[in-house]
Structure 1
Amino acid sequence: MTQHWHAYTYTGRAYPDGAVRQGQAPADFPPFLVEDWLRRPPRSIEATFFDIDQAVGWLETQLKQNQPVDAEGIPIPERLRAARARLGEQVQKDVVWGWYTTRQDFASRALIACPRPKRHMYADDSPPPCPTP
């Protein structure tokens, strides 16, 4: 299977870890484990990218639509350069960001690499399969 990235989004209220663990956060709230994004129903995927430029373009659109409150401290072009470098690394790499917006929402955007390698060389658990085979 060709390397690609699934894009996921959440915008809304932030929840403390304890509330998330107790099931008090909505079902679309970001999971604790990055690979758990891929265990969500395929309908939760916003887009799928096979090209780094398109994936970074999607992130740019998301950042412009959901302006970070700290955009002056960490400018959008700097964030995008970091994302491009991360996605361009040889092994499957993800970009998982969360920030507060100027509208006082919590925004989470994730580009999750797929397919995933096994996490531990001797682990019996398999990585989640591609949600869109």
Structure 2
Amino acid sequence: MARPHHHAYVWLGPGDVLVRPGDAHRRPGHPEFRSAQVMPLECADWLLKPASRIEATFYEARVGAEWYAGRIAQYRCVFVGSYAVGPSYDETVRALSAGEDRVGGWWVTGGRFLSLNLISCGPHRVRLEYACPLS
């Protein structure tokens, strides 16, 4: 069994792709799923995408939480609306230390949607059958 870790994924794209009918390409059973550039419907399904989609891999919760907070800070200038930006750094460390995923999504300028994801791997706590994309 692989040492527990988290893979980081980012998707920034047109929001209408997420809200229109016909989301089959976002489900693992669809022939275009692996090549579809849009985020999957279920967060754990990121692990079924090609390994080239992984932005980074973290074995330490604090380092993963720093990446997550850094990406939120990087994109904060394009967020729209007035709502909480995301979980605190300490809450992210707690979640990652417990083997949980950390997932966030925000509407940003231009009708786009930003999805930031730290997905548990080695194994995933819900999808035990999913192999690590790097193995």
Q: TM-score range by the shorter chain?
A: 0.7 to 0.9
Query: CA shift at 1:83, angstroms?
Result: 1.8
CA distance in 1, matches of 2:134, 2:10: 17
TM-score relative to the length of structure 1: 0.77
Q: Say whether the 8 Å CA contact 2:102–2:118 is kept in structure 1.
A: yes
Q: 1:33 aligns with which of 34, 42, 49?
A: 42
> Which residue number in structure 1 is paired with residue 95 of structure 2?
86
DSSP 3-state at the match of 1:27: coil
> Which residue number in structure 1 is paired with residue 134 of structure 2?
132
DSSP 3-state at the match of 1:85: helix
CA distance in 1, matches of 2:23, 2:90: 31
CA distance in 2, matches of 1:30, 1:22: 10
CA distance in 2, matches of 1:49, 1:60: 14
Provide Cα deviations, 1:13-32, integer angstroms capped at 9, x if missing partner.
Answer: 11216232366998121111
Q: Say whether the 8 Å CA contact 1:66–1:102 is kept in structure 2.
A: no
5+ long unaligned stretches in structure 1? 121-125
Q: 1:74 aligns with which of 84, 88, 98?
A: 84
Cα gap change, 1:116 to 1:75, in 2 (>3 Å): same
DSSP 3-state at the match of 1:18: coil
5+ long unaligned stretches in structure 2? 27-31
Percent identical? 26
Matched to 1:9, the amino acid is: V
CA distance in 2, matches of 1:75, 1:35: 22
Matched to 1:83, the amino acid is: T
> Which residue number in structure 2 is paired with residue 57 of structure 1?
66
CA distance in 1, matches of 2:126, 2:63: 27
Matched to 2:84, the amino acid is: I
> Which residue number in structure 2 is paired with residue 110 of structure 1?
117
Q: Say whether the 8 Å CA contact 2:72–2:85 is kept in structure 1.
A: no
CA distance in 2, matches of 1:28, 1:11: 9
Q: Say whether the 8 Å CA contact 2:7–2:57 is kept in structure 1.
A: yes
Q: CA RMSD for the aligned pairs?
A: 2.7
Q: How many residues align?
A: 124
The ranges of structure 1 where at least 4 consecutive aligned residues each deviate by more than 4 angstroms after the TM superposition are: 22-26, 117-120
Cα gap change, 1:103 to 1:54, in 2 (>3 Å): farther
